[in-house]
Amino acid sequence: MARDRQQTGDLFAAAEVSIAPLDDAEKLACVRLIRSENVGPITFLELIKRFKSAKQALKALPHLSGKFARGKQIRVCRAEEAEAELERAQKFGAKPLFLMEPDYPKRLAQIDAPPPLIYALGQTDLLQRPSVAIVGARQASAAGLKLARLFGQELGRSGLIVVSGLARGIDRVAHEASLESGTVAVVAGGLDIVYPPDNTDIYQAISEKGCLISEMPCGFQPRGKDFPRRNRLISGLSLGVLVVEAARRSGTLTTARMAGEQNRDLFAIPGNPLDPRAEGTNFLLKHRNALLVTEPRDIIEALSPMTGSNSSEFREVPGADGQTFHYHLSVDDEPPAPLSEPSESERDLVLQALGPAPVAIDDIARTTRLNIRQVRSILLELDLAGLTERHGEQLVSLAQTQD
């Protein structure tokens, strides 16, 4: 099963990030950092690890980004823009949850490149409870909808929170079935944008009894490319993902793939080989080692080692001020030491080790014979200059726009 593989989160090894409530000034600095040019989730956390606060990281941005940018400075989000974003969320009733705060979903924080900021509306305590995702076809069959309703109800009664994407078909029925026991809807746009519009009624019900989350600011209209980003949050919040019905090429299979990458258990209900809506689920069973399930008890029993009374890994909310969030240490990590300014020759070595094909950060360190922390420091400069792309699982390459 997926949980037997190594946990994700190794990307941020060799460092600790303090978990504590942020004051208003630090929250504003975090939003500015997140919305600044070339600062993605990985770069954000690397900056926080290095400078210990978003305010200090903002001060360092011009210096770091200029190392490879030939004098060109990246665009830093203005304080007025960040203030306006937070004010829009507050007026709508959405709560910002930052990665370094105790209220941030603990399970989501363990994935590769977790979003530094998500907005939540509703019962945010649901985000800390054990959950399972139910996903499937928008144009589902009557049998598929019946199964989604059955599994949603029974998994909810067992104490699991049901997570889905508020789409038509399977998603909607899963939310409806688990509304009273607890459901979380992950959306691709801002929380004030209901998509699809015909789900306004279930959206309103979830905002009152469940929880809605998004990594996009209020007012953001979802685009096609935003739905895979949403799907990674659906699987990231969950202990496992159940695929009810899915075509061979569908966004549902994207969620299934991400579940595997995030070390989540994958479940699938088999379907008639003649039904195109079962082609995806049958593919997962044949080629992706999904666990075949025919009744909710199959999932409940499979997840019991992580949800049982002797396991608190996923049920305890991170606590009070002063706690520390630890990522797993890989074999090549070294004890933290004062980080010196990289030399030009060291920067050249790292740049020469990169190419269009993704390569592991550990391999860069071995090839260049540089300290792993020096390599990460140089990669941070390259990230901010827009010269690199991150691929998760500690993989990095030159940006596609580069010669």
DSSP line for 212-232: EEESSPTTPPP-TTHHHHHHH
Dist. CA 274–CA 220, nearest whole Å: 40
Which contiguous run of DSSP H or E holds residue 61?
A: helix 54-65
In DSSP terms, 98 is beta-bridged to 117
Q: What is the pLDDT of residue 152?
A: 98
Q: At 203, which helix (H) or strand (E)?
A: helix 200-209
Q: How far apart are CA 197 and CA 361, in angstroms?
A: 44
Helix or strand run (H / E) with residue 170? helix 170-177
- Strand, coil or helix: what is 258? helix
Sheet holding 388-392, edge to edge: 359-360, 395-398, 388-392
298 CB contacts (<8 Å, ≥6 apart)? 267, 291, 292
Q: Whole-prediction pTM value?
A: 0.86
Q: Which two tokens stand for residue 167?
A: 């789409």
DSSP string covering 20-58, please?
Answer: -PPPHHHHHHHHHHHTSTT--HHHHHHHHHHHSSHHHHH
d(CA 377, CA 207): 42
H or E element: which one contains 204?
A: helix 200-209
d(CA 94, CA 191): 8
pLDDT for 322 equals 40
Distance CA 344, CA 139 (A): 56
Per-residue confidence in pLDDT tens, the chain, 403 aa: 444 333 334 333 334 678 899 999 999 999 999 999 999 999 999 999 999 999 999 999 988 887 786 657 789 999 999 999 999 999 999 999 999 999 999 999 999 999 999 999 999 999 999 999 999 999 999 999 999 999 999 999 999 999 999 999 999 999 999 999 999 999 999 999 999 999 999 999 999 999 999 999 999 999 999 999 999 999 999 999 999 999 988 999 999 999 999 999 999 999 999 999 999 999 999 999 999 999 999 999 999 999 863 333 333 333 333 444 333 323 333 444 456 788 999 999 999 999 999 999 999 999 999 999 999 999 999 999 899 999 876 899 999 764 4
* Side-chain-facing half-sphere of 179: CA atoms under 13 Å: 17
- DSSP secondary structure string for all residues of 361-398: HHHHHHHHT--HHHHHHHHHHHHHTT-EEEEETTEEEE
CA distance 394 to 172: 35
**Do residues 65 and 384 lie in contact, with contact meaning Cβ atoms separated by under 8 Å?**
yes
Alpha-carbon distance of 207 to 129, in angstroms, equals: 17
Question: Could you report the per-residue pLDDT of 369-398, keeping only the tens digit for each?
Answer: 999 999 999 999 999 989 999 987 689 999
Q: What number does CATH give the domain 1-329?
A: 3.40.50.450
Q: What is the pLDDT of residue 330?
A: 31
Give the span between the Cα atoms of 60 and 47, in whole angstroms: 9
- Considering only the top CATH level, what class is 344-398? mainly alpha
Q: How far apart are CA 384 and CA 311, in angstroms?
A: 40
Q: How far apart are CA 13 and CA 30, in angstroms?
A: 21
Question: What are the backbone angles phi and psi of residue 353, rounded to the nearest 5°?
Answer: -80, -15
What are the domain boundaries of the chain?
A: 1-329, 344-398
d(CA 284, CA 252): 11
The DSSP bridge pattern shows strands 161-164 and 291-292 to be: unpaired
In one-letter notation, the amino acid at residue 288 is R
Give the single-character DSSP code of 326.
Answer: E
**262, 236 in Cβ contact below 8 A?**
yes
Residue 67: beta bridge partners? Answer: none
